[in-house]
Structure 1
Amino acid sequence: MRQVNDMNSNRRQSTINSRRGLYLVLASICVIVAVLALVGCAGSGTSSAGGETTGAPSSDTATPSAGANSKMLIVYFSREGENYWNGGRRNLAVGNTQHVAQILQSLTGADVFRIRAADPYPDSYEDTVARNVQEQNSDARPAIADPLPDISGYDTVFLGSPVWNMQEPMIMRTFCENYDFSGKTVYPFATYAVSGAGRIPEDYAKYCRNATIGETLAIRGEEAEQSRPQVQDWLKDNGLAVR
């Protein structure tokens, strides 16, 4: 009888030990799962224990600017094709003003909007001259092909164009008259044959409503492609960011 009782006691003890072992295994699994969950959160979340942000940077960190709270936009019109060149004519694959705009963008990281005419100008130099005279005489506002950009987020706007008959092409006025430039500084840049900047600074003061007009950069068309030093000096002289 004592032997049976001993056997029953042993069985009960074995059962208890088995249960204790199972509890220990389950507890260990819970601990492992909790640790893995913490590791996963630390690797994929946005903040570490020290408060340092991890993961991909905000897009704002890549925003080009002239200062802590500044953003710049380059707006330009340029014409390739047959152009005046040292008293003669030359066919250009890239317009002179486009060369300057590209240099300016590379130095500042500014956003860019190129003005394109809804009715493109002719490849012929003489035909373009004739059309420009007609547009000036009629005070025309040639249509722009693409939707105009929202400039509300910019406080520095570079306006670039060739000089045609002592002034900006009339399509530049089409652009300017669409905006209120309050709180913005407009920096004109121009490429020319013989006239320098012509009347461009005065015209932008008139047509860029409420803008502050900065110093104008004027570059001979024949020198546009190699004008990086001039553009760089102009930016520095005006306290604008250079990359």
Structure 2
Amino acid sequence: MRPLIIFFSRAGENYVNGDLIHLETGNTERLVSFLREATDADVFRIEPEEPYPEDYMECTRVSKEEIRTGARPDLRAYLDSAESYDNIVVAFPIWWGTCPNIVLTQLERLNLRGKRIWPVITHEGSGSRKAVKALKKACPGARVMGSLAVHGAEVSVAEETVKAWGASRLSREENTTR
């Protein structure tokens, strides 16, 4: 059975190794392209109804407020069902030490009971513990599996690592034994 990748990524001004730089493609989206190539997964991109600010500092202010208030931003489109998938990768950047609320908006609308959720995380030094905890809460009855975390500045050299991780966990042959 083919896996599903649900992801959120943000291009534009981003913090990378202590500097603000402009990314044409977000780091998480780049990782997803590697995973897709290795696993032939179906892909659903989470996009906000109202785009996040391109300015990094303004975006961090907005995201911090979403986390503080528990907001669930509206999406341009919603995935209605994940029923036909057993393995689901949820890929996102760490924002304020956790999963962006926009990802929770989508996950909380799905029945993921009995599914295996594989977190794939990009970060600039924050840990993923709070993010995994947020995923477990948003996906009651699902099994949140071991995550893959990649430092954003290292995405360009992580292709083989990401592909090997995906192939070992999400290949069609592996799906029949896990």
TM-score w.r.t. structure 1 length? Answer: 0.68
| Corresponding letter in the other structure for 1:102 | S
User: 1:8 aligns to what?
Assistant: none
Equivalent residue for 1:133, pick from 30, 50, 64 = 64
Aligned mates of 1:172, 1:219 — CA distance in 2? 18
Q: Does 1:145 align with 2:76?
A: yes
User: 1:95 aligns to what?
Assistant: 26
TM-fit CA distance, 1:178: 0.5
| Corresponding letter in the other structure for 2:119 | P
Q: Deviations over 1:127-169 (max 9, x none)?
A: 0000011111111001111132421111111000000000011
1:163/1:198 contact within 8 Å kept: no
TM-fit CA distance, 1:108: 0.2
Which is richer in strand? 2
For the residue of structure 1 that corresponds to 2:57, the secondary structure is helix
Equivalent residue for 2:98, pick from 167, 173, 176 = 167
The higher radius of gyration belongs to 1
Q: Deviations over 1:11-64 (max 9, x none)?
A: xxxxxxxxxxxxxxxxxxxxxxxxxxxxxxxxxxxxxxxxxxxxxxxxxxxxxx
Equivalent residue for 2:149, pick from 193, 215, 218 = 218
Q: Which stretch of structure 1 is more off in the superposition, 190-199 or 84-93?
A: 190-199
2:78/2:106 contact within 8 Å kept: no
| Corresponding letter in the other structure for 1:177 | E
> Unpaired runs of 5+ in structure 1?
1-69
User: 2:130 aligns to what?
Assistant: 199
Q: Does 1:78 align with 2:27?
A: no
Q: Which has the higher contact order (CA 8 A, sep 6+)?
A: 2
User: 1:122 aligns to what?
Assistant: 53
Change (3 A) 1:237 1:120: same
TM-fit CA distance, 1:236: 4.9
